[in-house]
Amino acid sequence: MSKFFIRETKSKQNARTGGKYRGNQKLIKLKGKKRKKENEDISLNSIKKGGKKVALDVEDIPSDDEESELECKKKDAATSSEDDEETEQEKRLRLAKKYLEEIEKEEQDRGETEEIDKDVISHRLKQDALEQAGVLQRKVADKLETINLDDLRVLRGHQLPVTCLVISPDSQHVYTGSKDCSLIKWNIITGKKVKVISGGRKGTDDRHVGHTAHVLCLAISSDTKFLASGCQNKIIHIWNPETMELIHTFKGHRDAVSGLTFRKGSHQLFSGSRDRSVKVWNLDEMAYVETLFGHQDGITAIDSLTRERAITSGGRDSTIRIWKIVEESQLVFQGHSASVDCVQLINEQHFVSGTDDGTLSLWGVLKKKPLTSVQVAHGHATDNQLPFWICSVASLQNTDIVASGSHDGEVRIWKCEEDFRNLTLLCTVPIVSCFYNPLSLIHYTCVILI
C-alpha cells in the first residue's frame, strides 16, 4: 500500500451516480512555498481519465506498516512496564528457580548422570541455608582417619622461625612469613618453593621490595586476587599471589601489625595491631576506611567470615571482641582469666580460643561465657608443672573439627560435640622440639610450618 490513502472526490462520486463527468476540471492549485512538496505528491497520485488529469483530495493517514510499528512499540512498552512492576515475591521466585537450576547442573556434573536425586538437592539447599545463617556444622570428625607420621611433610626454607601462614582457597599453595623478614610461596603437592621474597636490612624500607622486619601475619582474599602481609615495622604490604609482585603498601598503625584477615567474598581487609586498634581497608580502591578502638592491650589475633564483622583477641586484657561494622558496635566476651593469645571462627555463631594458662574454649556469640572449656588442654611441663600455653588454634570451617598447637611439641585434633557443648580429643600429632606459632586446617588436612 502507498504512503497515502486516496479518497474519491465529489466529482467522481457524481459520475458513479449517473452525473456527467466534467473533463475540463482543473487541478487543485496549492499556494505558497510550504505547499510545494505536497503539490508534487498530489500530482503523482492524480488519475488520468479520458486523457485528462483528475485531481484527488489526499489525506495524510498512516499506512499498515506504520500501524504495526506502533502496535509493537505499545507491546514493548507494556512488557517493560510489567517487568518494572515485578513484585518482590515474584523476583524471589525467579531467583530461586535460577538457583535450583544451577544446583541441578552442579549435581549433574558431579554425578555424571542425568538423573538427580531430589534428596541430594534438598540436602544441598539445607546446607546452604544453615551456612548463610552461620550455624552449619558438618559431621566429619567421625570420618577422620588416623594420622600416619610417615605421611607428614615438613617444609623447610626459612632461616628463622616461621611466624605465620595462609593457604590459598584452591588448596594448591601455601604462603609463609618468618622472623627472617622473608615470604615464601610453596606448592603443597610437590612441597617445593615457587617464589621467595627475601627480607631486607633494617632501614632499607624505601629501597627494598619486601619486609625489613619480622613478618607477623598473612591473609589471602577468597578470590586469590590479593595477599596481605604485616610486619613489626607497622607496615602492610599487598601482593599479587600469582606472581608475588608488590601492588601497594598501607601505613597507619602505630605499632606492629599482629593480625590480618579478609572478609570472605570481598576485598575488605581487617588489620589488628599491638597499638590496640583494628583498622578497616578497602582494597578495591586501595584506601583506608576507619579505625576501631576498644581493647586495653595489644591485639594478638583476628579473624572474619562472610558477615561484615571481625573477631579479635586482646591479649592481657583477657577479652575477645566481635566488631559489628555496619551497626558500629561491639560484643565483649570476658570468660578468660589469662592472656588470650589466639582465636578463630568456626562459623558465624561459634568460635574457639586459647590462652597462656593452657585453656581451650568453645564459644557462642549469644553468650558472654564459654559454652565449654578444657583446662590444661596440652598438659603440664615436667620441670615446673606449669601448663603448656595454647599458642595457636585452627578450625575446619562449618564442621565439628578444631585443632590446637602448643610448645609441648604436639598438635591436638578435637571434636566439637552436638551444639558445641563439649570438646573431645580425637588424636595427637607429636613432633619433637617444635613450637607451633602458625596452624591451619583445610580439607581435613593439618598444615604445620616449622
Domain ranges for the chain, please list them. 5-64, 144-447
Q: Which residue has the cell 541455608?
A: 129
Instruction: Write the class of the CATH domain 144-447.
Output: mainly beta
Question: pTM of the predicted model, to two decimals?
Answer: 0.71
Which pLDDT score is estimated for 381?
A: 86
Which pLDDT score is estimated for 354?
A: 95
**pLDDT tens digit at each of 450 positions of the chain:** 444 444 444 444 444 444 444 444 443 343 444 444 444 444 444 444 444 444 434 444 444 555 555 565 555 555 444 445 678 788 777 877 777 777 667 666 655 444 555 566 666 666 666 666 666 667 888 888 777 777 777 888 999 989 999 999 988 999 999 999 999 999 988 989 999 999 999 888 888 999 999 999 999 999 999 999 999 999 999 999 999 999 999 999 999 999 999 999 899 999 999 999 999 999 999 999 999 999 999 999 999 999 999 999 999 999 999 999 999 999 999 989 899 999 999 999 999 999 999 999 999 999 999 999 999 999 988 888 889 999 899 998 888 899 998 888 888 999 999 888 899 999 888 875 455 456 665 443 444 444
Which pLDDT score is estimated for 61?
A: 45
Q: What are the beta bridge partners of residue 184?
A: 176, 196
Which pLDDT score is estimated for 7?
A: 45
Which pLDDT score is estimated for 117?
A: 59
Which pLDDT score is estimated for 30?
A: 39
Q: Which residue has the cell 536425586?
A: 117
